[in-house]
Structure 1
């Protein structure tokens, strides 16, 4: 079993294509690429973590459409970390868990990482190598050394495994305010 992370798919949202310069002709094509990429990576015994903004726009208010998309998600368990666009009926889908913030053990050190739709400056166990995984900012910011954007817009529209997130974190600069909130003691 593995954990897979993604954020901001915005299923059914036509305008996100223009807003984020996504390379799709329409939301139907976008939805299919996102679902194909999920199925290509997430195995039948894996956990899929969507770190906010599952769907948006008029289609996100259609329970039938949402049910069809949700039914195509791979994995043994599907989790939603609630984003600003996750409203009913998205919240009513049969998620295995729904939360605003999740602490989850993953990685080679099995550290307790934090998942939140919004980027944060600090979090529980931040000084103990725990990473924070977020979305919300689309392709505006990759993150910082210990807080990494897992959104589809910066990961080729595919979910990522913790090792990929950790590898990217090592290439990012420290947060400019890290020493302000987590001074060395």
Structure 2
């Protein structure tokens, strides 16, 4: 299965001061990290693929910090397709690349994209980026993105897949914090936002 997420911000000690994180309500970064890991692994299996659309973590530029985050990523189930966010450095991606390894299906744990990638499923073309794109009028093209945390882009063609996204409300069931979004749930979110815009 394919899953999508963004803006996990592992190890971000600024979460209490930054309004982007006002709805996270964790006492410690360790508690937030563990909650995301638990909810991720609850639905993602070893050989699933998770597209992480940027801002994996908030790290200092040091091998010790990179190693700390590598330990977290090793514990997360699935192949990780990592799209660079504004808090993700090339040095960190190079560290992960040097320490990349194969899972049981003989495919690499990590795949990297500097800007984004394109996926097609359920008759849609999805542009996966960290920053929101302005696609204009486009019948079957959707931008999955992160970066804006608890904000929603004023366009039916943009879906915020971040852990703080208000657009998770388009899903029927309330989700435990940090749970990646499945392909089927993405299609539900697209339909929900389109219907919402048709009412306006």
> TM-score higher than 0.5 here?
yes
> What CA distance in whole angstroms lies between the structure 1 residues aligned with 2:62 and 2:128?
23
**Aligned runs of 1:18-33 on 2, under 5 Å?**
18-19=17-18, 20-21=21-22, 22-33=24-35
Selected match of 2:162 from 148, 151, 164: 151
Unaligned runs of 5+ in 2: 101-109, 169-176
Check conservation: 2:138, 2:157, Cα contact below 8 A: no
The corresponding residue for 1:65 is 68
> What CA distance in whole angstroms lies between the structure 1 residues aligned with 2:62 and 2:26?
19
Q: Cα RMSD (Å) of the superposition?
A: 2.3
- Kindly tell me the number of residue pairs found equivalent between the two proteins: 169
1:131 and 2:142 aligned: yes
The corresponding residue for 1:96 is 111
What is the deviation of 1:134?
Answer: 0.3
1:121 and 2:134 aligned: yes
Deviations 1:44-73 (A, max 9, x none): 221011100001144886122011111112
Check conservation: 1:135, 1:150, Cα contact below 8 A: yes
Change in CA separation of 1:60 and 1:15 when aligned onto 2, cut-off 3 Å: farther
Check conservation: 1:12, 1:60, Cα contact below 8 A: no
Deviations 1:126-179 (A, max 9, x none): 7241211000001122663221000001243211012222222233355xxxxx
Deviations 1:59-114 (A, max 9, x none): 88612201111111211x211111101014431213223331101123x22x3311
Unaligned runs of 5+ in 1: 175-185
Change in CA separation of 1:150 and 1:60 when aligned onto 2, cut-off 3 Å: farther
Q: Secondary structure at the match of 2:149?
A: coil
TM-score by length of 2: 0.75
TM-score by length of 1: 0.81
